[in-house]
Amino acid sequence: MKRSKFRAIGIGLVAAFGALCTGCGGEREFTAQEIVEEIRGEGVGITLGQPLIAGDETQELYSVELEPVVALEGAADEHGTRPSGSLSVSSDAEGAEEEMASCRGSADLLCYRAANVVIVIESDGIEAQRLAAAMQRLAEE
Q: What is the pLDDT of residues 14-57, one digit of tens each?
A: 444 444 444 445 678 999 999 999 999 999 999 999 999 988 88
What SS3 class is residue 2? helix
What pLDDT, in 10s, does the model give residues 94-137? 988 998 898 888 878 899 999 899 999 987 778 888 888 888 88
- Give pLDDT, residue 12: 40
Cα atoms found within 13 Å of the Cα of residue 94, Cβ hemisphere only: 1
* Distance between CA atoms of residues 134 and 98, nearest Å: 22
Torsion of CA 93, 99, 102, 107, to 10 degrees: -110
Number of domains making up the chain = 1
Q: What is the pLDDT of residue 107?
A: 77
> What is the DSSP code (8-state) at residue 107?
S
The 10s digit of each residue's pLDDT in 5-25 is: 444 444 444 444 444 444 445
The confidence score (pLDDT) of residue 117 equals 94
Rg of the chain over Cα atoms, rounded to whole angstroms, equals 14
According to the model, what pLDDT value does residue 17 have? 43
Structural domain of residue 47, as residue ranges?
2-140
